[in-house]
Each structure stands twice: as structure tokens, then as C-alpha cells.
Amino acid sequence: MKSIFPDKGKDTEEIMDKIDEAREKDMNFSSGRIFGSMCTESPDLAKEVYSRFLESNLGNPGLYPGTSQLEEEVHEAVGSLIDAGDVESLSVGGGTEGNIIALWRARERSGRRKVLLPESAHFSFEKACSLLDMESEYIPLTDDFKMDIEVLKNKLEAEREEIAAVVGIAGTTELGAIDPIEQIGELSEDIYFHVDAAFGGFVIPFLEELDHDLPAFDFEVKGVDSLTLDPHKMGMAPIPLGLFYSREGEDISIDSPYLTGGGQKSIRGTRASASIPAFWAVMHHFGKEGYKNLISACMEKTYYLIDRMEEVGFEPIIEPNMNIASFRYEEPDEMVERLYEKGWNVSRTVHPKGLRFVVMPHVSFEGIDEIVEILSGMI
């Protein structure tokens, strides 16, 4: 086979031309044209800090006590937003890894394999079940797109001995709906209960402080065993950074004798860790006040988007709880493709079919006007 690996080194200019060429093909948040992502552009400060920690590897933590210290401070500070007290915490790559660890812990604790999930659960649970040889069973949703608690209750009565875990979602991917976490917690006392707050975990605490009336979703609920939330979504951290919190139980960390620091606390071995100090900086840059302002501005734009979409004939699927707005539409796939060809990224919902907008901080009122104008010309 002919080798295409470069024979000799090239000069920097030539390399950077190619790099820029590739980068220009990518979409970017600053264009304001991305409505389909739960991530956003981090402040410049985060980019500066990130570049200083490129070699940090918390898979070998003894070499990086400074990064480890910042990691601990991040875990404690975010933990205090979700009533985590002194529960254990891990840095993860994002909601997917947090959900995998949760189901692993549930399987280890119970020796069982069945997982009960709302129909609105993120697809990462299917990955987790496949990796862990577990079996997913979906609980239907009520008219307001939350897990149907009566169906869950009956299921638990009939099959309690087989259930390894129950999962609730605080901020569903498609609609931002919040499952009845307190009621699920009461029903699942002796069963592992995991809350996927990958998106909502960094939104709900601030909305509560802004006097939005939202249900309890975190460790305040006694039955919650673990919770995952992602600073790389509304926390404005550079990717990848998720945080997984859990009450006592099976420990994913493993002895790593030929490395430093006394153990590896992750599914990953070597792990890029620059997003931890970068997020530490972002967290101190904004503080609670800054996040409240950011989220309040996102909510204002979400309501504006809904008003504008209603004007041109779209119906929101639910009243928004957070900065996600989805609208009924029978053929979202085709519309999403057509918008992409025009340089706009809008996402789709599957249950029910619709167009989905995540109103992140990079979204502007002008961007909303533009996309609504384009859409109204396409229907």
C-alpha cells in the first residue's frame, strides 16, 4: 500500500494554510447560525487558560497537583449548586460518560440488568446498555412529555426484583422537559436512581434563583443516587467537561501502579484536562451573577423565538422550561437538510416530530429574525 504519511517536515506557513482551509469549512458559534448544539463559544479567557494546560493529564494526577487542585475546587463549587454535600465526584467527558458510569454502578450494586428510562432519554443510554450488556425498557410520557409516573409505579410493582436502575431526565434533549424527580425518587428508594441533568443541571439552579418555579431535581431529593451535568453546555466551558456526582457505592477508580497519584478515576486513562482549569477560570469570571444574566438573556431570546415562530404559523410543542424551543413539524429531516445547505444549523425532534432550537448565548435576536424569515419562505 502506498504510504501517504508525510515523508519530510513542511514549513509552518504551508501547514497553517491547510489548517485554515479546513477551519474555514467548519461552522462556528460566532456566526450565530448554530441553533442545533447545546455547546457554545467559551470566553477568550478560557481559550487563554486552555492553551496553558495542554499537557495536563489527570490520568496521571501526581504529576499535576495544580490541575488536580483546580479540579477539586470545580467539583466542590458546582456540587454546591446541586446540593451534593460531600457525595463523590468525577470529571467525565460529558453526559454520555456520566450516564455510562451511572449504569455501571447500578449493575455492580444490584447484579441486575434492566434499566427503566423515559421515552425522552438521550441515546447515550443505548450506548451504555450495549457496552454494559444491560437492557433498556422505555416508560411512556404524559401529555406534557414527562415520564408517566403511574406506568413507572406499575412496572416497579410487577418487576421490582429485576430492575437495576431508574433514570430521570432534568432537561430533556429535545424539549428541555423535567421529569418528576421527587416522585421517581420516592418510588425507587431501594433501586439505583440516576438523574441525567447534562443540560438542565447548569440551567435549573440559576433559573430557580431568577424565581422560575421549577421542581427539585438534585441531591435535595433523597432517592437520587447519582447525577450528571455538563459545564461544556450552559456552563460555557470548552469541550469536553462533564461532572458526575454520586452517593456512596461502587467506585470506577482503579489502582494505576506505574503512574502517579494513587489511582485513575475515569473510564478514560490518559485524559485531556485543560478544560478543567479553563472552566475554573470561566466560573470565576462569571460567578453566579454572570450566569444568571446569561441564562436570563437566553430565556428572553427563547420567548422571542417562540413569538416570532408563532407569527409565521409554527406551534411550540411545550411551554419552555429552559432555553430550548421545539415546534411541531411533520417533515423535519428534509427541512433540517435544506437549512444546512443554506448555512444554518437547526435540529430536529423525533417524539413528536418537530424542529428544535437550542437558544445558547451565541444566538442573537437578529439571528432569530433571520432564521424565522428564511423558514417562513420555505414552508
Ligand X SMILES: Cc1ncc(COP(=O)(O)O)c(C=O)c1O
Q: Which residues contact ligand X (rule: CB under 6 A)?
A: 38, 94-96, 122, 124, 169, 173, 196, 198-199, 230
Q: Of the two residues 169 and 224, which places its CB atom closer to ligand X in the complex?
A: 169
CB of 176 to ligand X, least distance (A): 9
Q: Of the two residues 234 and 335, which places its CB atom closer to ligand X in the complex?
A: 234
CB of 194 to ligand X, least distance (A): 11
Q: Which of 184, 169, 194 is nearest to 249 (CA)?
A: 194
CB of 173 to ligand X, least distance (A): 4
Q: Of the two residues 358 and 372, which places its CB atom closer to ligand X in the complex?
A: 358
Q: Of the two residues 169 and 298, which places its CB atom closer to ligand X in the complex?
A: 169
CB of 160 to ligand X, least distance (A): 26
What CA–CA distance (Å, rounded) separates 325 from 319?
8
Give 204's contacts (C-beta < 8 A, 6+ positions apart).
Answer: 170, 171, 178, 197, 214, 217, 322
Q: Of the two residues 95 and 205, which places its CB atom closer to ligand X in the complex?
A: 95
Q: Of the two residues 317 and 372, which places its CB atom closer to ligand X in the complex?
A: 317
Size of the chain in residues: 379
Peptide bond into 215 cis (omega under 30): no
Give 9's contacts (C-beta < 8 A, 6+ positions apart).
Answer: none
CB of 38 to ligand X, least distance (A): 5
Q: Which of 103, 131, 132, 97 is nearest to 117 (CA)?
A: 103
Question: N- to C-terminal Cα distance for the chain?
Answer: 51
Q: 3, exposed or middle or buried, with CB in 10 Å at 0-12, 13-18, 19+?
A: exposed
CB of 204 to ligand X, least distance (A): 12
Instruction: Determine how β-strand 226-229 pairs with β-strand 242-246.
Output: antiparallel
Task: Spell out the SS3 assignment of 43-56.
Answer: CHHHHHHHHHCCCC
What CA–CA distance (Å, rounded) separates 120 from 164?
19
Q: 102: alpha, beta or left, given left = phi > 0 and alpha = psi -120 to 50?
A: alpha
Q: 313: alpha, beta or left, given left = phi > 0 and alpha = psi -120 to 50?
A: left
Q: Of the two residues 184 and 372, which places its CB atom closer to ligand X in the complex?
A: 184
Q: Of the two residues 309 and 324, which places its CB atom closer to ligand X in the complex?
A: 324
Determine contact, residues 109/192, Cβ cutoff 8 Å: yes
Give 19's contacts (C-beta < 8 A, 6+ positions apart).
Answer: none
Q: Of the two residues 61 and 94, which places its CB atom closer to ligand X in the complex?
A: 94
What CA–CA distance (Å, rounded) separates 101 from 131?
11
CB of 358 to ligand X, least distance (A): 9
What CA–CA distance (Å, rounded) separates 360 from 320?
14
CB of 120 to ligand X, least distance (A): 9
Q: Which amino acid appears at position 264 of this protein?
A: Q
CB of 297 to ligand X, least distance (A): 21
Q: Of the two residues 123 and 284, which places its CB atom closer to ligand X in the complex?
A: 123
CB of 240 to ligand X, least distance (A): 7
